[in-house]
Amino acid sequence: SVGIICKCETPANPDKTLIGCTSSECGQWMHHECLTHDVLMQVYERLGTDKPHRNEAAILNEEKAEEATRPLSPTDAEEKETQPTIDVRSGETQDNVHVKEVVRETPLETKTSTPRPTPSRSITAAPAKGSAKQGRKKKTGDYKPYAGLFEANLKMQDGPTAWEIRDLRENVTGGEKSWKEKACCLICGAGIE
């Protein structure tokens, strides 16, 4: 019997690199390819094809600069945008318009029967397939929208295990072209040390 590992639930291949989760509760082994695919999908979902990567410090600095230049009192445009409040008084009428509440004494009946098809429509049943062969389930790693856009290398020597991500997109200006991201277990989500 071959042991099943990783999030993809496939056996280990002796020719492929495996990475172990360092969490004492988990300790699962994962394929290097599955970890790479996961981190590149996260980067792609976050940045897409045109958004530059900016580190948290740069984002915080921009927010502080924007906050510092914003006036303390509202501008004329902001004053115009505020909506006037509407005064709603219950029980009172305006311009002799009377509003009545409808009170039902008996609840409405609901029908649960299936509607019958009308004679004008014809119903055709889908042809039943015989013993169609079920192929092997496709690996999720086959879908790689990040190919040619980002590259990831796992760094295990200096401190905790981390991904070095390289942005290969030439049409994106600004932001960083290389950065590090924490390596996390695909099963439990804990950081890999």
**Per-residue model confidence (pLDDT) at position 3:** 85
Stated pTM of the model: 0.59
Residue 63 backbone phi and psi in degrees, to 5: -65, -40
For the cut 90, the answer to whether the pLDDT of residue 144 exceeds it is yes
Average pLDDT over residues 10-20: 93
Identify whether 114 is part of a domain: no
Identify whether 170 is part of a domain: yes
Among positive and negative, which fits the CA dihedral 163, 168, 172, 175?
Answer: positive
The parent domain of residue 28 ranges over 1-55+138-193
For the cut 70, the answer to whether the pLDDT of residue 32 exceeds it is yes
Identify whether 96 is part of a domain: no
Domain count, the chain: 1
